[in-house]
Amino acid sequence: MASLRVSVVLALAVTLFTSPVYADDPVVEIKSGKLGGKSVEFSHSDIDVQRTVHVFKGIPYAEPPVGDLRFQPPKPKVPWEGVHNAANFGSACMQSIEPLVPVQEPLSEDCLFLNVYAPQVDDSASLPVMVWIHGGAFIIGSGGFRYDGTALAATGDVIVVSINYRLGPFGFLATGDEHTAGNYGFYDQIAALRWVQDNIAAFGGDATKVTIFGESAGAISSEYLFLSPLTDGLFRRVILQSGSASLPGFVSTDTATQNKIAHGLGKLLGCDEDSSDELVKCLRTVPAEDFIEPSDMSSGLLANVTGLDFEIESSPFPPVVDGKFVTEAPATLIRERNFNKKDIDFMIGTLSDEGMTYCMFFMADKLNQTEVTMDRDTYEALYPAVLTKRFKNNPAVLDAIKLLYVNWEDADVEDADYVEAFSHMQGDQFFVCRADQSARAYSLAGANVYLYQITHAPAKSIWPCTWLKAAHMEEIPFVFGWHFVQEMEWTMPKEDVDLAVEIMKYWTNFAKTGNPNSPSSNDDDSQTSWPLFKVPGLEYKDLSLKMETKRALKAKECAFWNDFIPKLMKHTDSDSICSAVDDDLHLQKYKEEANVDPSQ
């Protein structure tokens, strides 16, 4: 079907519906059957846009992954009769309740739903499509309420799709063998993208102009999808917001550890079986809600039963190198530019204070303060604890990190503040320099790459405190225009509203053309023009009130993390073959001589 076809729903047909759909609401027919959505009249006093957006929520894109379908790739949705009511969000996937990042939807293992926000169009329209993949460390989150795409669709003239995918053990449990290969959350994402290819034309969308975008674990997912050989033809562009597939803790190649974790979970759930086959059969009979506490890192149960030390930035159920969805560790694929998609456009970026989110978790007792400080003793105790395993046990690396990030001009001052040192160390290690690594690799491979950093501290934080500045996740209200979405009840001052409008333009322009600049923008105007990131050159956009073009973002720090630290470890950590994982000269020796996870 070429575009959205709105039909008048006859009263006598109401008995066929899952629940009532009313006469002024849109009905669209996709391959699985008919959907009844809602018409939303979008307008706001702070923006000159008036648009009808057709909203379809809770669309099942696969069969419920329950019973024998637990720990299996998703199965195509069986067609339904009548009109499926798509007025409300479907259930979020099973997860622990996180007060700082709550989900509004009920939890269920039956959670493979997506949502479509489509501007009303005529039959000839064919709009670009933006598919949002939510974050949450692969253990929490949903594609629902928080990511309402109405404002982005209405102001940018694009179709926005947001998706759920399985989390925690339901999405990523692996036994290290053929019985449970893992990565089911990624296979859910692929199924959702195939649904878009098969059905988006019915909503007025162009299946050849699909952009995948996500934040944190959503960005990690997006880069994994790019690196996977299973996703050819499913998207044309990628936006990575504060996340990279090379992030330590979010990949496992150690099948022995995967098996140990799976059997440890089994012990906690009454499935103390010897073989993987019997373990998986038993785990499929356990009620879904029973998985939550044992698989929650904060409970410590899985660490105790396995004797493993799970890192702060990782999950006990990470993505795995399974030889099918992904063939090698992402860091290796990126570094060696070993990817078969050569015509993908990229927008890659971070925020200037990513690491402040870690400060918030470690200083939860100070959330109500207007500002915070960190003394030297606290810094000395904390900073090694939040480094990856391969760093924290190497004294030379610890000293080098401290040398770079401590403000030595004030190091002898008794009340010197170390918050900035802690925050930037974390932000650079996990986000900024991973983005730099990806941007360089894709640009050198010939892709169009646009790099950004958001330095503007929002007047209202997404987190329950006021001192985080431009921290992790703070771009979400700007990208989705929360100020313009009535249900969000999110008010911004004028300068933040103006920035949100510009960011939404950049994102939707990129989805349309692969270039965030408006077609009519003046290339000489640094306020609007966003240059390509190239090596050399290294230009990027500072997304702030001034919208300046800058160059060489954190060049010294990223040379430190991406080049110097691997070499330092090679020469100082002779007892650990892991130190060679990021060094090209030692990569083959590592693979041949050690059965360890190269992310550790």
Domain ranges of the chain: 341-374+417-553
d(CA 368, CA 373): 13
Work out the average pLDDT over 69-87: 97
Q: In the chain, what percentage of residues exceed pLDDT 90?
A: 76
pLDDT at 378 over 50: yes
pLDDT band (50, 70, 90) for residue 98: confident
Burial class of residue 20 (count of CB atoms within 10 Å of its CB; 0-12, 13-18, 19+): middle
Q: What is the pLDDT of residues 553-571, one digit of tens each?
A: 999 999 999 999 999 998 8
- This prediction has a pTM of 0.91
By three-state DSSP, how is residue 351 classified?
strand
Cis peptide before 536 (omega within 30 of 0): yes
Work out the average pLDDT over 419-440: 96
Residue 354: active-site member: yes
d(CA 75, CA 187): 10
DSSP secondary structure of 530-583: -PPP-TTT-EEEEESSS--EEESTTHHHHHIIIIIHHHHHHHH-TT-GGGGTT-
Residues in the chain: 600
> Tokens in use for 102?
């709550």
Out of 472, 474, 579, 599, pick the active-site residue: 472
pLDDT at 459 over 80: yes
Token pair 């009303």 is at which residue? 120
pLDDT at 345 over 80: yes
Least confident of 85-89, 234-238, 306-310: 306-310
pLDDT at 521 over 60: no
Out of 109, 215, 328, 354, pick the active-site residue: 354
Mean of per-residue pLDDT scores for the chain: 89
d(CA 136, CA 121): 34
Q: What is the pLDDT of residues 476-494, one digit of tens each?
A: 999 999 999 999 999 999 9
Residue 216: active-site member: yes
d(CA 547, CA 526): 7
**HEC string of 174-191?**
CCCCCCCCCCHHHHHHHH
Of 222, 233, 461, the closest CA to residue 347 belongs to 222
Q: 141 and 135 in contact (C-beta within 8 Å)?
A: yes
By three-state DSSP, how is residue 362 classified?
helix
Give 251 or 313, the one with higher predicted confidence: 251
Q: What is the pLDDT of residues 222-260, one digit of tens each?
A: 999 999 999 999 999 999 999 999 998 899 999 999 999
pLDDT band (50, 70, 90) for residue 528: low
Work out the average pLDDT over 432-461: 97
pLDDT at 576 over 50: no
Out of 216, 423, 461, 599, pick the active-site residue: 216
Least confident of 296-310, 390-404, 406-420, 457-471: 296-310
Work out the average pLDDT over 419-432: 95
DSSP secondary structure of 288-333: GGGGHHHH-GGG-HHHHHH-----TTS-SS--B--SSS-SS-HHHH
